[in-house]
Amino acid sequence: MKLLTKQNIVFFCIIAFVFAVSVVSWFIIRNIKIENPVVEIYKNGELTHKIELTSDKLDFTIIDDNSNVIFVGHKVGVIHADCPDKICVNTGFIDSGVFPIICLPNRLEIRITDGENELRLDAVAR
Amino acid sequence: MKTNTKKLTLTALFAVVALIIFIVEAQIPLPVHIPGLKLGLANIITLFMLFLGGFWKVRDVLLVLLVRILLAALIAGNPVGLLYSFTGGILSLLVMFAMKAAFKGAAIPVISVAGAVAHNIGQIAAVMLVWQSASVLVYLPALIAGGIISGLLTGFAVYFLFKTHPKFIGFLGGKNDIR
């Protein structure tokens, strides 16, 4: 039951290297900024809302079927959810980064893009 | 198939302990909120059973894993998350089993880290497949880093359990020749 054999030291070095790479790439990804951000809200894989974040004084909330309350202003975020883990609420508000807000149980995704995707549903966007 | 009563009882006990760990873990707040990231302490049981040896086979580990995931989803009231948990859990077990077989000298924490990272990759792959969206991929580095931390945590927990309780391992029907 030896922990520090030659093989294990190699393994621990690989683990340390992968850890360092992922931490560095995490910080690089975090600093990516999107110009002219557009919020895209996906529900069950369908794009339901598309809102420009640059518009002035745009404060409103969207309530979806699973009572995910989404607030859109200069930032977008989920302020209430009925899912058990509340990850989407705890993610907080996003405005120009590449990290989407995700609610796994309710299949909700809020993405910041530069507005390339077309709205497929006749949902009210503004 | 001949079933050993002691083994049957212990299998049920393992499943219950895994569930209790899951429930206790849910009460521990994490400093970061990343979808799919958690401590994964219930993996201690999977890892422990995998290394018990003796009359404990991989199918027993798989059984306990499936029971735990199913009941945990019901307890947490999150049946939708089942698919992601299953994919992650089974991929994790596969990777740990393959690594254990391929590298005879690999330490428990090393295999645990591989399993934890495989779990998170499996989860994110399942989400990408179901959602038909690659945008969740930006969370991959965080999930890998998180998997390494939690893998080391659970790995050393199991390592010290084996190291300090040889009689207990013998009682459970395990062979005490672990790494």
Residues B92, B68 contacting (CB under 8 angstroms):
no
The CATH number assigned to the domain holding A82 equals 2.60.320.10
- Is position A126 within any domain? no
What pLDDT is stored for residue B127 in this prediction? Answer: 87
In the predicted structure, residue A49 carries a pLDDT above the cut 50: yes
The pLDDT, as a whole number, for residue A119 is 53
Highest-confidence segment of A29-33, A59-63, A102-106: A29-33
CATH no. for residue B72?
Answer: 1.10.1760.20
Q: Is residue A87 part of a domain?
A: yes
Q: Average pLDDT of each block of 10 consecutive residues along chain B (179 residues)? A: 80 93 87 81 92 86 93 81 88 94 90 95 89 83 93 94 85 69
Chain B residues contacting A, CB < 8 Å? Answer: 33-36, 76-78, 80-81, 84, 103, 105-107, 109-110, 113, 117, 127, 131-133, 135-136, 138-142, 144-145, 148, 152, 159, 162-163, 178-179
Q: Which residues contact A41 (CB under 8 A, 6 or more apart)?
A: A47, A48, A49, A50, A51, A62, A70, A108, A109, A110, A111
A26 and A42 fall within a common domain: no
Judge if A2 and A59 occupy the same domain: no
B158 versus A31: which is more confidently predicted? Answer: B158
Asked whether residue A91 falls in the same domain as residue A50, the answer is: yes
Going edge to edge, which strands form the sheet with A93-94?
A60-63, A69-72, A76-80, A93-94
Which domain does B157 fall in, by range?
5-171
How many domains does chain A divide into?
A: 2
Encode pLDDT of B13-63 as tens digits: 999 999 999 989 888 888 877 877 888 898 999 999 998 887 888 899 999
- So what's the pLDDT on residue A53? 74
What pLDDT score was predicted for residue A3? Answer: 80
Q: Are residues A48 and A76 in the same domain?
A: yes
Residues in chain A with CB shorter than 8 Å from the CB of B141 are 21-23, 25-26, 29
B59 found inside a domain? yes
pTM over 0.90: no
Q: Can you tell me the ipTM of this complex?
A: 0.85
Q: What is the mean pLDDT of residues A18-35?
A: 90
pLDDT at residue A1 tops 70: no
Nearest CB to A87: which of B33, B77, B163? B33
pLDDT at A121 over 60: no
pLDDT at A125: 43
* A91 inside domain: yes
A95 shares a domain with A42 = yes
- Separation between Cα atoms, residue A3 and residue B109, nearest integer Å: 9
Q: Are residues A21 and A66 in the same domain?
A: no
A:B CB pairs within 8 Å: 93
User: Do A23 and A50 share a domain, yes or no?
Assistant: no
C-beta atoms of B133 and A19 within 8 A = no
User: Which domain, by its residues, includes A80?
Assistant: 38-113
A13: which chain B residues are within 8 Å (Cβ-Cβ)?
Answer: none
Same domain, A43 and A23: no
- Does B15 map to a domain? yes
Query: B45 near B68, Cβ under 8 Å?
Result: yes
Q: Which among B84, B132, B133 is the top mutation candidate for probing chain A, defined by the most A β-carbons within 10 Å of its own β-carbon?
A: B133
pLDDT score recorded for residue A46: 80
Contact A100 B33 (CB under 8 A): no
Residue at A103 is within a domain: yes
The verdict on a CB contact (< 8 Å) between A102 and B107 is: no
Does a structural domain hold residue B126?
yes
Q: Tell me, yes or no, whether B179 lies in a domain.
A: no
Residue A73 lies in a domain: yes
The closest alpha carbon to B149, from B45, B42, B38, belongs to B38
Question: Does B157 map to a domain?
Answer: yes
Residue A16 and residue A54 in one domain: no
Tell if the CB–CB gap between B110 and A29 is shorter than 8 Å. no
**pLDDT, tens digit, for every residue of A52-103?**
776 665 667 777 766 677 777 778 888 888 777 778 888 888 888 888 888 8
Q: Is residue A17 part of a domain?
A: yes
